[in-house]
């Protein structure tokens, strides 16, 4: 595990450009951000401090998405949310992790990023330490690479993941057709339907994939039916936080956005110090039975209002959706009851061969 960027301050906001000039093959790039909080009630998830992560080689984009999208995709790739230490307390450190995975699992011999295959690979990280709604007194970032050391591997390619399209879902039952890429075999599509106070299926009601002007429809489902399948395939997200609760309601943001369970205990032994005051949707509105410092456990599903459409057995490359054989490919969404309030983002995860 090599240090690409040692811990450095990220004040003021800017785009950090990092030359990836290593020779070893990389399985994962990891970005860690630490914020020294000031006690301000937050207005967004901590992951919002990184608005864009790009891996490019000249004009070729090898990875591109927001920090929230990166975290959500990591969960569907590994089954575990990247590490988060959630807090808004004065002089406490919040920790946010973002992982770029190039293989089906960590240290996948067949899929990994080989920097020597490219001319000038660069990692670009756009950050704003105040984007979570607070005003941290300090902000730091480090970048690490999980690389193969003294082990000879010959990967055939890597996972090429990027945001393909973004739009407003629209009024209830509005359809939206998106032209999808057909350049590389595709492992999955990830769809984020984000609207505070709602679920993803309130923003996107239905998803359909069609080939060659409806000649073939390989996938069509309501999001509600898809969610039932995803619940059986992916574990509950578990996140923890440290907060100063008061009798005045405050907003708390965590990654899960559905089937949320919130548990809080105070520093006084056995004291359940806080409770959810509105329906358990993100952001949570919390007030205290007893005003004091407390620890909270927040669990649920659908990180950052996301779902995935699986396109084959996830670990068998030959079983993935070979869209290169398709002439015209469209993904159609149908807006839900909160569609006019929701932003939809479409992310593709593809097999990019060397």
State yes or no: pLDDT of 272 exceeds 70. Answer: no
Residue 137 sits in which domain range? 2-234+303-353
Q: Would you state the pLDDT for residue 30?
A: 98
pLDDT in tens, 299-322: 999 999 999 999 999 999 999 999
Residue 59 falls within a domain, yes or no?
Answer: yes
Q: To which residue do tokens 């591109």 refer?
A: 64
Question: pLDDT tens digits, residue range 42-53?
Answer: 999 999 999 999
The CA-CA-CA angle for residues 195, 197, 199, to 5°, reads 65
What lies within 8 Å, CB to CB, of 252 at 6+ separation is: 42, 86, 88, 241, 243, 283, 284, 285, 286, 296, 298
* Pairing assessment for the beta strands 93-101 and 186-194 based on DSSP bridges: unpaired
**Residue linked to tokens 């927001």:** 66
- Residue 67: pLDDT above 80? yes
The answer as to whether 293 is a domain residue is no
What is the C-alpha to C-alpha distance for residues 94 and 42, in angstroms, rounded to an integer?
12
Mean pLDDT (the chain) is 94
Backbone angles phi, psi at 322, to 5 degrees: -85, 85
Side-chain half-sphere CA neighbours of 98 within 13 A: 26
Q: What is the mean pLDDT of residues 148-174?
A: 96
Q: What is the pLDDT of residue 41?
A: 85
170 falls within a domain: yes
What tens digit of pLDDT does each residue of 317-343 get?
Answer: 999 999 999 999 999 999 999 999 999
DSSP letters along 93-105, please? EEEEEEEEE-SSS
Helix (H, G, I), strand (E, B) or coil at 75: helix
- Angle (CA) 320-60-146 rounded to 5° is 70
**Is the Cα dihedral 100, 35, 194, 198 positive or negative?**
positive
Indicate whether 249 belongs to any domain: no
Tokens of 308: 């995935």
Residues pairing with 235 in the sheet: none
Q: What is the mean pLDDT of residues 264-280?
A: 74
We report the CATH number of the domain holding residue 213 as: 2.60.120.20
Do 60 and 162 form a contact (C-beta atoms < 8 A)? no
In a domain, 261, yes or no: no
| Torsional sign, CA 126, 127, 128, 132 | positive
For residues 266 and 213, give the distance between their C-alpha atoms in angstroms, rounded to a whole number. 59
What is the four-CA torsion angle of 307, 311, 314, 320, rounded to 10 degrees? -150
Q: Which residue has the tokens 């595990």?
A: 1
Three-state DSSP state, 319: helix
Asked if 85 and 254 count as a contact pair (C-beta separation under 8 A), the reply is no
Per DSSP, the residues of 173-188 read T-EEEEEPP-SS-EEE
**Count of domains for the chain:** 1
Read off the pTM: 0.96
Rounded Cα distance, 297 and 279, in Å: 17
Q: Per the omega criterion (within 30 degrees of 0), is the bond before 110 cis? A: no
Residue 259 in domain: no
For 202-236, give the secondary structure using H, E and C: HHEEEEEEEECCCCEEEEEEEHHHHHHHHHHHCCC
95 part of a folded domain: yes
Angle at CA of residue 209, ends 303 and 192, nearest 5°: 20
pLDDT band of residue 285 (cuts 50, 70, 90) is confident
25 is a domain residue: yes
pLDDT bracket for residue 248 (50, 70, 90): confident
């Amino acid at each position: 595990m090599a240090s690409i960027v040692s811990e450095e301050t990220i004040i003021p906001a800017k785009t950090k450009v990092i030359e990836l000039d290593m020779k070893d093959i990389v399985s994962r790039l990891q970005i860690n951000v630490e914020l020294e909080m000031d006690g301000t009630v937050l207005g967004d998830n901590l992951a919002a401090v990184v608005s864009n992560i790009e891996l490019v080689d000249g004009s070729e984009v090898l990875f591109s998405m927001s920090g929230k999208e990166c975290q959500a995709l990591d969960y569907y790739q590994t089954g575990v949310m990247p590490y988060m230490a959630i807090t808004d307390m004065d002089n406490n450190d919040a920790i946010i992790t973002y992982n770029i995975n190039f293989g089906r699992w960590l240290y996948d011999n067949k899929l990994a990023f080989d920097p020597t295959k490219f001319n000038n690979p660069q990692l670009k990280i756009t950050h704003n330490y105040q984007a979570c709604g607070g005003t941290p007194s300090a902000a730091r970032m480090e970048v690490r690479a999980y690389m193969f050391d003294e082990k000879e591997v010959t990967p055939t390619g890597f996972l090429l993941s990027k945001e393909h399209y973004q739009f407003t879902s629209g009024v209830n039952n509005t359809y939206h057709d998106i032209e999808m890429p057909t350049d590389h075999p595709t492992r999955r599509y990830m769809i984020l339907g984000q609207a505070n106070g709602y679920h993803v299926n309130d923003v996107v009601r239905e998803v359909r994939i069609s080939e060659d002007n409806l000649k073939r429809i390989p996938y069509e489902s309501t999001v509600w039916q898809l969610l039932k399948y995803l619940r059986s395939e992916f574990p509950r997200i578990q996140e923890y936080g440290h907060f100063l609760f008061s009798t005045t309601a405050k907003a708390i943001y965590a990654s899960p956005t559905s089937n949320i369970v919130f548990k809080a205990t105070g520093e006084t032994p056995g004291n359940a110090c806080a409770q959810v005051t509105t329906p358990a949707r993100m952001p949570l509105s919390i007030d205290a039975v007893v005003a004091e410092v407390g620890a909270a456990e927040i669990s649920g599903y659908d990180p950052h209002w996301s779902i995935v459409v699986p396109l084959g057995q996830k670990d068998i490359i030959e079983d993935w959706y070979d869209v290169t054989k398709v002439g015209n490919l469209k993904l159609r969404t149908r807006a839900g009851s909160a569609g006019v309030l929701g932003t939809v983002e479409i992310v593709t995860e593809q097999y990019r061969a060397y």
